[in-house]
Structure 1
């Protein structure tokens, strides 16, 4: 296992609500005078040193947080594993010998190890929620656009969000209060939706532990399906009618994320021939082959999922599902990436906030509960935590 930090700092800090709290910064965010590596040495070599902090870093520093280091990220943030072919796999103290989850792997590891109190990360397809689940942490993927990503390396801009990981809910709420912009949705969470069509896919051991956590919140729980019975989730796309609605949503998410990732980084990749680890390399290679028809079909599905979130999650309701299908997998094993993304893609496709909270353990290994609210419901989720 690897130390989570790429570089460490002596930061004096400031007065403010976060005074005395240590901040670990994912190596996608600019720190003035420090190269941003985005998890890949070639990226670091071909980009200049930033002259100022990313907005999220500046806000946390101004509120009193003290930067203690920049942390390992999966390459260009395109993984959920927490492994990096160049810098290694940060330690997961809650599950020794297992991955911490990515791509905010180093930030999650630093917080779980007690080396930082706040881990600044990003979540495009689950990169805060999955590490939180694997490491027994709290983490929030905010409503898309509510936290500035200025000064952070993008992956898929219409999905990218910035949030934090912490060991306790109070620190999470305090740090996110510094970062969140805009007006909050009114009214507390008073009802949970734990859809039977999503929970049916979860392994029994994880299902029992995470459902018990949802029930412990003391709110009424409805189990009606998330996807309407008999609905065509394909958006008219050929070849998808045999898939479940949740799998169809996952495919749409993966397609759009890949398309945006190639639009964002394809030119740099072709010009600089970076060396990627095998998983990231394969995803970029596949992304380069997408055509406009793929994107049009996926956009129709995205619109449908967004409409469903508005319908199923009115004010006061939160979706309650696992943050990941099970505990962290052993280093060297291959995870079921599709099963993970089926649980994270609803928030991603709809731009909704997703909160991960520790739910308990399966065979001594952490698993997490994911709570998703409609757009703007970030503060309501934080209150529930």
Structure 2
């Protein structure tokens, strides 16, 4: 296990709603005068030191937050585990000896350790929601495009989002209000979807840990299948969604970083190296069918998750794996891909424990429903979770 910080920063902070709160910045976001590392030592060797803060960092600083430092991230943000081949595995105090989850690993670790109050991270395929679940934190992946990613290293731009990790719902709300900008009215929630075709894939231990948090919401529970007959595939519809997400993300990731990889020849850890190698073989034709699935999922979310409804499922299939274990990446992405494919906001909240380790509940609203999720966290976080 390693310290979550790549470097610490002497920042006095300022006045505003976040005054006195310490901010941990994932090392994908620019800090003026500080190299951006992106989780790989070759990146700062081949990129200029930024002259300005990333927009999200600038907004949080302007609201009074004090930057505590830059934190470890998985390489180019393409992992969900939290182990970096170059910089180690940040500590998970909620599950000693277990990974913190990635790729916002350092930000989650710093917040869980009490070294920061706000963890700025990114979520492409679950990189805020999974660490939140593993570390017993609150975390929000916002609606795609609502929070600026200017000055942040991209991975798959049509999926990338920037959001917050925090130890409590109130701090999550304070920081996200700053990043979201002009507030939107939060729709009252009366119904929660607990689809049998999604929950049927969850282990009994995780169900027993998470379901009481769903029931404690006090909402009408709808267990009807989420996908039904709407997606045709030889495998389950949830699996079809995962495959579509994985293919499109890989394609975009290679379009984003392929030229740099070919020129800079970075050394990657085994998992990240394999994913980029596989991504390099994809063609535009390979994305045609996945793009159709993505469009169907987006329509399905609009139909099944209207105002007043949220979709509930675990934020991860189970608690954090032990350091050195190979995680079931496919099982994780089945639970995180719906928000990514539809551009919807997803929030992870602490729900309970399985095998004495934290597990989180994930709530997904329709695109634009960020304030609805935050209001739900405000209402329920201190009472039931």
> What CA distance in whole angstroms lies between the structure 2 residues aligned with 1:6 and 1:179?
24
> What CA distance in whole angstroms lies between the structure 1 residues aligned with 2:320 and 2:245?
23
Total equivalences in the alignment: 377
Alignment match, 1:237: none
The counterpart of 1:360, out of the listed 349, 352, 369, is 352
| Native 8 Å contact 1:27 1:36 kept in 2 | yes
> What CA distance in whole angstroms lies between the structure 1 residues aligned with 2:367 and 2:140?
13
SS in 2 for 1:349: helix
| Native 8 Å contact 1:258 1:283 kept in 2 | yes
Alignment match, 1:246: 238
Alignment match, 1:332: 324
SS in 2 for 1:371: strand
Pairwise CA distance, 1:186:
4.7
Q: Rate the CA distance shift 1:181–1:296 in 2: closer, same or farther, 3 A.
A: farther
Alignment of 1:13-92 (within 5 A): 13-92=13-92
2:133 maps to 1:141: no
SS in 2 for 1:24: strand
| Native 8 Å contact 1:141 1:354 kept in 2 | yes
| Native 8 Å contact 1:80 1:130 kept in 2 | yes
> What CA distance in whole angstroms lies between the structure 1 residues aligned with 2:70 and 2:333?
27
The counterpart of 1:293, out of the listed 285, 289, 293, is 285
The counterpart of 1:318, out of the listed 302, 310, 329, is 310
Alignment of 1:159-178 (within 5 A): 159-178=159-178
SS in 2 for 1:120: strand
| Native 8 Å contact 1:137 1:357 kept in 2 | yes
SS in 2 for 1:132: helix
| Native 8 Å contact 1:328 1:365 kept in 2 | yes
Pairwise CA distance, 1:183:
5.4
User: How high is the TM-score relative to the length of structure 2?
Assistant: 0.97
SS in 2 for 1:341: helix
> What CA distance in whole angstroms lies between the structure 2 residues aligned with 1:29 and 1:73?
11
| Native 8 Å contact 1:146 1:182 kept in 2 | no
2:334 maps to 1:379: no
Pairwise CA distance, 1:293:
2.0
| Native 8 Å contact 1:183 1:376 kept in 2 | no
> What CA distance in whole angstroms lies between the structure 1 residues aligned with 2:77 and 2:186?
33
Alignment match, 2:343: 351
Q: CA RMSD in A?
A: 0.8
Pairwise CA distance, 1:294:
1.3
Alignment match, 1:132: 132
> What CA distance in whole angstroms lies between the structure 2 residues aligned with 1:298 and 1:227?
16
Pairwise CA distance, 1:185:
5.2
SS in 1 for 2:363: strand
> What CA distance in whole angstroms lies between the structure 2 residues aligned with 1:125 and 1:187?
26
Deviates more, 1:180-189 or 1:215-224: 180-189
1:343-378, Cα deviation, whole Å (9 max, x unpaired): 000000000000000001111100000000000000
Alignment of 1:198-277 (within 5 A): 198-228=198-228, 230-231=229-230, 233-234=231-232, 241-277=233-269
Pairwise CA distance, 1:190:
1.6
Q: Rate the CA distance shift 1:185–1:305 in 2: closer, same or farther, 3 A.
A: farther
| Native 8 Å contact 1:117 1:167 kept in 2 | yes
> What CA distance in whole angstroms lies between the structure 2 residues aligned with 1:335 and 1:25?
25
The answer for unaligned runs of 5 or more in structure 1 is 235-240
| Native 8 Å contact 1:26 1:104 kept in 2 | yes
Alignment match, 2:362: 370
> What CA distance in whole angstroms lies between the structure 2 residues aligned with 1:363 and 1:269?
40
Q: Rate the CA distance shift 1:185–1:293 in 2: closer, same or farther, 3 A.
A: farther
> What CA distance in whole angstroms lies between the structure 1 residues aligned with 2:286 and 2:335?
22
| Native 8 Å contact 2:177 2:183 kept in 1 | no
The answer for unaligned runs of 5 or more in structure 2 is 378-385
| Native 8 Å contact 1:185 1:376 kept in 2 | no
SS in 1 for 2:352: strand
